[in-house]
Amino acid sequence: MVDIEQIRSRFIKHFDGKIGNIYAAPGRINLIGEHTDYNGGFVFPGAVDKGVVAEMRINGTEDTVMAYAIDLKDRVDFHLNDPAGPRTSWARYIYGMALEMRKLGVPVKGFNIAFSGDVPLGAGMSSSAAMESCFACGLNDLFGENKVSLWDMVLAGQATEHNYCGVNCGIMDQFASVFGKAGCLMRLDCRSREFEYFPFKPDGYRLVLLDSVVKHQLAGSPYNDRRNSCENVVKHIAEHHPEGKFETLRDCTWEQLEEVKAEVGEEDYRRAKFVLGEKDRVLAVCEALNEGDYERVGELMYQTHEGLSKDYEVSCEELDFLNDIAKENGVTGSRIMGGGFGGCTINLVRNDLYRQFIADAKKRFNEKYGHEPKVYDVIIGDGARKLC
Ligand code: GLA
């Protein structure tokens, strides 16, 4: 947990001695449904008990933001009316959120902010969405009389990634961070934006993340590249079927994908194949959960890993190794989680196998890569909120 007293003392020390309001927003896990959000498919995330906490206060200036990143001991001041904005990457999330909230009609002016977080960076748990939703929540409260809807905050967070941070992400992370509810996973249809809370208390099992501590870099990147492949396939399918409406891979069938296989090339074909399969897997997981069939949930998680590794090519050697260790230890389900290119595996493991699995993973990973993976037991927490 982030230490609120520490945030308050830094806020007082670095600014004018006055206190502000404190806001929090979480990172997320995702049980299944990876790289489906920007394809109009389904996702199955939940908020975690780790997140970002910020103290914020209006400072009376027209557009000066004074910002302090407590964990980095880094202070950046900038102007909201400066079209270039700050260069420092963490400050761009504040700048971007403020400008996106302005677009929604919130009259954002100058403010002071100090923040800290405990979502491990680069672990695929979306520390960036935690920042965005936390800042959105604060700006909505300080300047917007809390009139901006939760969905608009989600979309403003996503727009911040697109417009100021170079990641063409979907809406899963910001959605989970804003709408999260303790004890519940959420199934979201990313096309219609309808969602359902699923209380998640698997009897006899638990969820644990193993963090390879290999960092991924999504900006400017292989992530956007995957998205382009998907859009390219949709474009080709649409050309074949001028009568239809094809916005994302969600609108496309397996047969239609086969029709364009030769034109789009092997790589784009394989990527689209993964996405179509993943869309079906999320629905199958929901069914299995309704029946309490966790072994089936686990099988589907392994299938997702296989697809992300071989077809979507967003895994890496270290994560494939962790996945193999899970399999060998009889872990029910395991897969790479989040955008990929490093980060965590998410594991559904029977309580009686947990200790042995963790011990074996630590030992063997350490022998091979010279450090142990980090272990995070998943606790499903609440979404963005004002603390005080
Ligand atoms: C990142 C993005 C999300 C989603 C996942 C992959 O976390 O921010 O929108 O695409 O990758 O499922």
Each of the 388 residues of the chain gets a pLDDT tens digit; together they read: 789 999 999 999 999 999 999 999 999 999 999 999 999 999 999 999 999 999 999 999 999 999 999 999 999 999 999 999 999 999 999 999 999 999 999 999 999 999 999 999 889 999 999 999 999 999 999 999 999 999 999 999 999 999 999 999 999 999 999 999 999 999 999 999 999 999 999 999 999 999 999 876 665 589 999 999 999 999 999 999 999 999 999 999 999 999 999 999 999 999 999 999 999 999 999 999 999 999 999 999 999 999 999 999 999 999 999 999 999 999 999 999 999 989 999 999 999 999 999 999 999 999 999 999 999 999 999 999 999 9
Distance 378 CA to ligand 1 centre (A): 19
51 lines ligand 1 (CB under 6 A): no
Question: Given this model, what pLDDT does residue 220 score?
Answer: 57
| Ligand 1 atom with least separation from CA of 37 | 10
Residue closest to 50 by CA, chosen among 209, 156, 164: 209
172 lines ligand 1 (CB under 6 A): yes
169 lines ligand 1 (CB under 6 A): yes
338 lines ligand 1 (CB under 6 A): yes
Length of the chain: 388
Distance 37 CA to ligand 1 centre (A): 7
Catalytic center residues: 173
Question: Given this model, what pLDDT does residue 217 score?
Answer: 63
Pairwise CA distance, residues 27 & 81, whole Å: 29
Distance 324 CA to ligand 1 centre (A): 23
Distance 340 CA to ligand 1 centre (A): 9
Secondary structure (DSSP) of 44-87: -EEEEEEEEEEEEEE-SSSSEEEEEETTTTEEEEEETT-SS--S
| Ligand 1 atom with least separation from CA of 36 | 12
Which residues are paired to 42 by β-bridges? 189
pTM comes to 0.97
**From atom 9 of ligand 1, which residue's Cα is the shortest distance away?**
170
Pairwise CA distance, residues 211 & 303, whole Å: 20
